[in-house]
Chain A
Amino acid sequence: MSTTARSLPFPTRRPRRVLPGFGLTLGYTLLYLSLVVLVPLTATLVKTAELGWGEFWTVVGAPRTRAALALSFSAAALAALINGVAGFVVAWVLTRYEFPGRRLIDALVDLPFALPTAVAGIALTALYAPHGWLGRLLAPLGVTIAYTRAGVVVALIFVGLPFVVRTVQPVLEELDREVEQAAATLGAARARIVARIVLPSVWPALLTGFALAFARGIGEYGSVIFIAGNMPMVSEIAPLLIVTRLEQYEYPAATAIAIVMLSISFFVLLGINALQGWSQRRLGPGGA
Chain B
Amino acid sequence: MTDVANRPAAPPRRPRGLARGALIAAALLYLGGFLILPFAVVFTQALARGFSPFVDALADPAAVAAIRLTLTVAAIAVPLNLVFGVAAAWAVAKFEFRGKSALLTLIDLPFAVSPVISGLIYVLVFGAHGWFGPWLAAHGVRIVFAVPGIVLATVFVTFPFVARELVPLMQSQGRDEEETALSLGATGWQAFWRVTLPNIRVGLLYGVLLCNARAMGEFGAVSVISGHIRGLTNTMPLHVEILYNEYNPTAAFAVASLLALLALGTLLARAALESHAPELRHASRQAPAQTATRTGAVA
Contacts and interface: CB of A to CB of B under 8 A. Distances in A.
B159 A133 contact: no
Nearest to A39: B125
A19 B95 CA distance: 8
A43 B23 contact: no
Contacts of B135: none
B286 A166 contact: yes
A194 to B, nearest CB: 10
B124 A280 contact: no
A166 B107 CA distance: 21
A58 interface: no
B296 interface: yes
Contacts of B103: 29-30, 33
Contacts of B27: 86, 89-90, 92-94, 105
B299 A219 contact: no
Contacts, number: 326
Interface string B113-145: 111110011111101011100000000000000
Contacts of A275: 292, 296
Contacts of B263: 111, 114-116, 119
B121 A44 contact: yes
A288 B289 contact: yes
Interface string B1-15: 100000111100000
A161 interface: yes
Given A219-B117, A277-B296, A99 B24 contact: yes
Contacts of B210: 113-114
B237 A118 contact: yes
Interface stretch (A59-67, A175-183, A195-203, A255-263): A255-263
Contacts of B277: none
- Report the contact-size class of chain B (Cβ under 8 Å from the partner): 35 or more
B220 A40 contact: no
Contacts of A21: 90-91, 94, 188, 192
Interface residues of A, number: 107
A71 interface: no
Given A29-B87, A36-B156, A255-B120, A119 B292 contact: no
19 contacts: A19-B191, A24-B87, A33-B103, A37-B106, A40-B125, A44-B121, A92-B27, A99-B8, A100-B8, A105-B27, A111-B39, A111-B267, A114-B210, A116-B237, A116-B263, A163-B288, A215-B112, A219-B113, A239-B117
Interface string B263-299: 1101110110000000000100110110011011101
B39 A4 contact: no
A120 B257 CA distance: 11
A118 B256 contact: yes
A41 interface: yes
Interface stretch (B28-36, B49-57, B197-205): B28-36
A186 interface: no
A4 B241 CA distance: 49
Contacts of B217: 114-119
Contacts of A116: 216-219, 236-237, 240, 256, 259, 263
Contacts of B106: 33, 37-38
A122 B252 contact: yes
Nearest to B181: A19
Given A17-B95, A158-B35, A127 B41 contact: yes
A144 interface: no
Contacts of A126: 41, 45, 249, 253
Contacts of B175: 18-19
